[in-house]
């Protein structure tokens, strides 16, 4: 070859597994653990492809196609969040301490449970969460919106206004009165 003369560039192929491969009388030896891209002579390309070698571009295209299929499948399973029904109460739930239902989606909203931490969720979502091991602790609200016919052991988290979630008092219906769960005092309807 003369100076300035271009040699015939090789083709990059990837072998299927370690071993020896023959192409037009030339041996290509692939050592164990070295199945990466290898430059081969252009005239050997077709023979090596028949033996299971693949072009690097074909592998990249196949990977891109697989990735696009996965993304499309995920997009198909993404559920838009359903609107919360008007008047649907907010409830407090406790997530399970472990297991596969600790992170859940209900009606298109994602809930991620933490150990010992409660979450306030719409009642329409709480049904799905409680069906999968989450524990319903009670309804959030004010004393004015208590149920007209409470059932024994109905539990509520109440405060002066509907937005101050941290300043809530836990009350339970004992059959006659609503009582503070911690002090036992009767909590009147205001």
Per-residue pLDDT 10s for the chain (190 aa) are 444 444 556 777 777 777 788 888 888 887 776 666 777 888 888 888 888 887 766 766 667 777 677 666 665 555 566 777 777 788 889 888 877 777 888 888 888 888 778 888 888 898 889 888 888 888 888 888 888 888 888 888 887 655 555 557 888 899 999 898 888 898 887 6
Same domain flag for 161 and 94: yes
Residues 67 and 105 both lie in one domain: no
- pLDDT for 4 equals 42
pLDDT value of position 169: 83
Q: 48, 28 in Cβ contact below 8 A?
A: yes
In a 10 Å sphere around its CB, with 0-12 CB exposed, 13-18 middle and 19+ buried, how is residue 2 labelled? Answer: exposed
pLDDT for 13: 75
Domain boundaries, position 97: 90-180
Q: Note the residue count of the chain.
A: 190
Give the DSSP H or E segment for 61.
Answer: helix 56-77
Cα distances from 21 to residues 36, 38, 39, 52, 93, in angstroms, run: 15, 12, 14, 10, 63
Separation of alpha carbons 141 and 161, rounded Å = 8
The whole-number pLDDT of residue 3 equals 46
Same domain, 71 and 99: no
Assess whether 127 and 69 both reside in one domain: no
Of the candidates 135, 138, 178, the one whose C-alpha atom is nearest the C-alpha of residue 155 is: 138
Cα–Cα nearest to 143, from 91, 181, 179, 182: 179
Count of structural domains within the chain = 2
Place of tokens 């509520």: 156
Comparing C-alpha atoms, which of 62, 16, 61, 64 is closest to residue 37? 16
Of the candidates 95, 102, 131, 133, the residue with the CA atom closest to the CA atom of residue 116: 95
CB 95 within 8 A of CB 114: yes
Among the candidates 77, 107, 135, a domain finishes at 77
Same domain for 157 and 117, yes or no, is yes
Same domain, 170 and 102: yes
Supply the pLDDT for residue 5.
45
């Amino acid at each position: 070859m003369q100076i300035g003369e271009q040699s015939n560039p090789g083709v990059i192929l990837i072998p299927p597994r370690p071993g020896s491969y023959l192409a037009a009388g030339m041996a290509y030896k692939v050592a164990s653990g070295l199945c990466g891209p290898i430059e081969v002579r252009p005239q050997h390309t077709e023979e090596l492809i028949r033996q299971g070698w693949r072009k690097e571009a074909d592998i990249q295209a196949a990977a891109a196609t697989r990735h696009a299929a996965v993304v499309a499948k995920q997009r198909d399973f993404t559920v838009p969040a359903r609107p919360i029904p008007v008047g649907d109460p907010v409830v407090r739930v406790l997530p399970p301490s472990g297991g596969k239902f600790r992170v859940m989606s209900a009606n298109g909203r994602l809930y991620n449970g933490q150990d010992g931490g409660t979450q306030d969720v719409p009642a329409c979502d709480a049904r799905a969460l409680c069906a999968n091991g989450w524990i319903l602790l009670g309804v959030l609200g004010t004393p004015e919106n208590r149920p007209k016919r409470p059932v024994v052991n109905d539990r509520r988290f109440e405060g002066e206004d509907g937005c101050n979630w941290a300043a809530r008092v836990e009350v339970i219906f004992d059959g006659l009165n609503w009582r503070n769960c911690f002090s036992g005092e009767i909590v009147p309807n205001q």
